[in-house]
Amino acid sequence: MEQAVFLQGRAKDGKCLLRDGYLFRIGKRTPKKSYYTCLVSKCSSTVCLDPDEKMVLSSNGIEHNHAANPAEIEVRKFHQKLRQNILDQPNTAIPQLYKETLSSIHASSEVLSQIPTFSGIKNYMYKVRASVRPPLPKTMEELQLDGIWSKTTDGSDFLMVDEGIGDNRIMIFCTLENLKLLCSGKNYLWMEPLR
């Protein structure tokens, strides 16, 4: 039996089934089968999957009434790779991940012209990033920094001081190395704290 292959698309399309160079989106789910229909709205080609959507059970045998679009598949592969990189590397900056993913694919100029610019896909990328991060605290009391959130990317302590309560809470972020450099300085420049 044939294994089902999915591609993650743009946010509004969700995941699509990839079969023989064509893309299908979920039509309906029943307890015994999941029905996927061709992404092109006037095409009647349908594929049936098992309820776990792991295997292709059958197709309705209707030929596609349009040509396959390999460029669209490549664009979706880019989206999928970008999404996976954001999930796998939660501490790498989003602009850097976009740049790295783009340079890792060997796309034709046709595909490149369909890949969204950074500003065009920025909101989606930050949404994916937010899904693996704790929600933002609403009060100072809710702000709890421990584990990886209190350390630098190489694992050194970064939260030096966390004292006081409410509006009087003071948090100082610095590494031991930076503190040593600060102590070795002969001159200090002072500025008013930003409020």
Nearest distance from C-beta of residue 64 to Zn ion, angstroms: 3
Measured from the CB atom, the residue of 2 and 20 that comes closer to Zn ion is: 20
38 touches Zn ion (CB under 5 A):
yes
Nearest distance from C-beta of residue 22 to Zn ion, angstroms: 5
45 touches Zn ion (CB under 5 A):
yes
40 touches Zn ion (CB under 5 A):
yes
List C-alpha distances in Å: 185 to 45, 174, 177, 179, 181.
72, 16, 13, 10, 7
Nearest distance from C-beta of residue 174 to Zn ion, angstroms: 59
Measured from the CB atom, the residue of 43 and 73 that comes closer to Zn ion is: 43
Q: Whole-angstrom Cα distance, residue 27 to residue 7?
A: 16
94 touches Zn ion (CB under 5 A):
no
| DSSP tag of 33 | -
Number of Cβ atoms within 10 Å of the Cβ of 60: 11
- Burial (Cβ within 10 Å: 0-12, 13-18, ≥19) of residue 116: middle
Q: Taking each helix axis from N to C terminus, what angle separates 94-104 and 118-130, rounded to the nearest 10 degrees? A: 120
Measured from the CB atom, the residue of 75 and 97 that comes closer to Zn ion is: 75
Among 18, 26, 35, 43, binds Zn ion (CB under 5 A): 43
Binding site for Zn ion (CB under 5 A): 38, 40, 43, 45, 64
